[in-house]
Structure 1
Amino acid sequence: MGYLSNGWDENAQQMDSVAVLRNGKEILFQAFNWESHKYDWWKNLEEKVPDIAKSGFTSAWLPPPSQSLAPEGYTPQNLYSLNSAYGSDYLLKALLGKMKQYKVRSMADIVINHRVGTTRGHGGMYNRYDGIPLPWNERAVTSCTGGLGNRSTGANFNGFPNIDHTQDFVRKDLVGWLRWLRYNIGFQDFRFDFARGYAPKYVKEYIEGARPIFSVGEYWDSCKYNGSYLDYNQDSHRQRIINWIDGTGQLSTAFDFTTKGILQAAVKGEFWRLRDAQGKPPGVVGWWPSRAVTFLDNHDTGSTQVLDLRLLNTVLCLAQ
């Protein structure tokens, strides 16, 4: 697929442009599963980097690197602490160095829709962040999830304080953190978790601020069903994903959840689903292939204890 190209000197402090699209192939490897945190993962994965490179993968998607309440990494608290259930910051940096050596780009899983607080604040909820870097108060949390900020600009991730991206100080701090991941730690690509939770214009701002080589958003909502039956026409579903991509200023790609949903039905023998009414592929890839990250499965669909590199989930980004 077309992808966001590194059109600048990574060591330069001044960059003339954000990114440009160019033709080519990207094969993105999801280099973890839901059980990986149990297996000294940064060290484990470092040993597999030569095999990942030999297999032709151009980028490896790593789990969220920050300290998290849950070991999988998706309930972050201290964003600047890279000592996680996957290993120490030292082991993570060693892994990223090995990946750079073998020319496999490292993708950081960016979880900025919600953040677990350290201290009880407004309403008796843990919506303050005292004692850690980015010591936000309740104004950083949306009013619809127990904070004193504005209402959310997207869907709520229930059960946790959702970050209010309308606040200038929040966005400034997040850009600083993303730049730290990009230029101090060495991540090159970004995957935006739960991208439905905040307006895509903020993703545009974060990409412009931190300038990853490649970005992809997890804009995931339900396909259109008639009861339990998947409708043939999924134009409204793929249009919502395309609207999100447009909202990022076309700087980010998006996972093609439309294609995934259709494939799940097609493999049951309903192969007529594999073309839309215009004879094109029925997902986002049929309308905007340069921004569609097609895939078969990922860690959100279930847990597996398989650790064999060959059987870990793979995301394919195919050239068009």
Structure 2
Amino acid sequence: MIIPMLYVALSLSILLKRYTWNAFYIAFLKSLRFVYLIPSISYILFGGNLNNIQVYGIEVIGAFESNNYGWAAFLVIVTHWQLIQFKESKFLSFWSVLAGFNFVILMISGSRSGLLSLMISILIWFITSKGMYIFKFLLPVLFISTIVLTMKDEESVLAQKFDKTLKQFESTATSSRDLYVNEFITSSDTRTTAREIAQITFYDYPLLNITGMGIFQFKEGLKTYANWASPSYYKSGVHNSYGEIYFGCGIFVFAFFLFQFVIKPLRIYFKYLKAYMLFVPGIFIIPYFESDLTAGQFLFFPWFITIFVLLSYNNRFNLPNLKP
């Protein structure tokens, strides 16, 4: 975690001294669009089928899992749209065809966090852009209609994931230690039960709120401090980057991380850059549903590059020419 993070910070400090913020940011957008196009290409080249109504639950297609396809598709779509706004790409182009293809991938991936991120990006664009009133009206209508029509098919991944989400809300933070001890809990979502067991454990051992159980030692920590719970309840791990920091390091390190790497960059984003970096909310939302704290994780580099770019931003920098 630390060495790749330092690599990102030092590399950015060199790039931003050598190039303008404008030139760097356009290159960054093009790099994101190109790199995260790779999963959708992999899907086609290595056995994926667009006739599938869903790929969620299939462990690996091509080189990636279903959520990876959804997150990558989100980045391709939003970065391409942003490059169109900066006159760095054309609306009628092969890249737009690829972006449309990635929207299909996003829909069948079952990635709720990917869809949520795209919805928020559209909302921010709707609020911040000027002009294009007919298009501003049609785009959200088309997006929402596609989701509603897809969910009418009970076999579709969106319908299944919506039902799963409702069940997760119903079961969140309602179970007691005794129910786990007696194995009365029946949940197919081990991420929910894992976090719930950790919360009970931190209540049982208040000092853990200060020290944590050790970074990246979530399951090992629960084996030690929560041996009353079956490991099957937390076999997936915490699956939450922010939860990984809290349960691993305690409240003080978590508070520092939250302030330095979430609150400060987002404050800069909403003050200066919300119209110029539409993908940013998704970059911060997706790590809530996945651990992205190490360099081998799917979104580590875009997440921390974005953080350090925002922290490096100066309101005297020249911004790209933004079209509606």
TM-score clears 0.5:
no
Higher strand share: 1
TM-score by length of 1: 0.28
**Structure (1 or 2) with the larger CA radius of gyration:** 2
Give the TM-score taking structure 2 as reference length: 0.28
